[in-house]
Amino acid sequence: MGYHHGDLRAALIRTSFDVLAEGGLSRFSVAAVARRLGVSSAAPYRHFPDRDHLLSAVSAAAARELREAMLAAVARNPDDGLAAAAGAYVRYVVRTGAGIHVIFAKELYAVPDDERREHTRALMTTMLELTGSDVRLLEATLAIAHGYASLIRQDFFSKDSVDDVADRATAATRALL
C-alpha cells in the first residue's frame, strides 16, 4: 500500500485494521504497520507513544464503526434488530479483524483515552438497548457472533462465504430469542 503524504495518524489507524485482519491481536505490532505503510519504524511514534496508544485509537474507531454497522443492519431489519446486529458483527470482524477482543483488550484499560471510552460506551449502550437491557442476552449474543467470526477467521468454515456464516449467526441469535 505505502504511505504518500497526508494524514499519517489516520493512515496508521486504517492500516492497523489490515494488520489485525491478517495476524490478529497477538501478532499486531507497530513495526508491521509502519512496514505496510512504507514509513520508518520511528514514524508512528510521532503520533502514538506506544503500541497500546495506537491500539486504543484503533479500538475507538472499531467501536464507532461496529456500532454504525449494527445500526445500519437494524435499520434494514427493524423487526429482527438483535439478530441483524449479530450478523453485522460477523461481517465487520471478518473484514477488519477488530471485534470485542480489540475493543475490550485488557491492555487498553490503563490507556487514558476518552474517545475510546466514549465510542465503547455508545456501542455497549446500543447493544444493551437491542436486548432490552438484558445483560445475559447481550453476553449470549456476543458469544454467538464472536464465536462465528472467530471460526470463520480460523478457516473452520473454509467453504462458506462470510455472508453464509453471518446468516448462521443471525439465525442462532434468532433461536436464542
**DSSP character at residue 131:** T
Read off the pLDDT of residues 95-133 as tens digits, 9 standing for 90 and up.
999 999 999 999 999 999 999 999 999 999 999 999 999
d(CA 121, CA 84): 20
The DSSP string of 7-20 is -HHHHHHHHHHHHH
Q: What is the mean pLDDT of residues 150-175?
A: 95
Helix (H) or strand (E) holding 67: helix 51-76
Asked if 21 and 96 touch (Cβ cutoff 8 Å), the reply is yes
b/e for 127-136, b at 16 or more Cβ within 10 A? beebbeeeee
pTM for this one?
Answer: 0.93
**DSSP character at residue 44:** G
The DSSP string of 137-148 is HHHHHHHHHHHH
d(CA 169, CA 157): 13
Q: Write down the CATH number for the domain with range 50-176.
A: 1.10.357.10
pLDDT at 3: 56
| Nearest alpha carbon to residue 148 among 132, 136, 160 | 160
Q: Domain limits of the chain?
A: 50-176
Q: Using alpha carbons, list the distances in angstroms from residue 13 to 23, 55, 57, 107.
A: 15, 8, 7, 17
The band of 6, judged by pLDDT with boundaries at 50, 70 and 90, is confident
pLDDT at 61: 98
**Residue whose entry in the numeric block shows the C-alpha cell 427493524:** 78
The band of 2, judged by pLDDT with boundaries at 50, 70 and 90, is low
Read off the pLDDT of residues 125-137 as tens digits, 9 standing for 90 and up.
999 999 999 999 9
pLDDT at 1: 52
Read off the pLDDT of residues 43-63 as tens digits, 9 standing for 90 and up.
999 999 999 999 999 999 999
d(CA 160, CA 61): 28
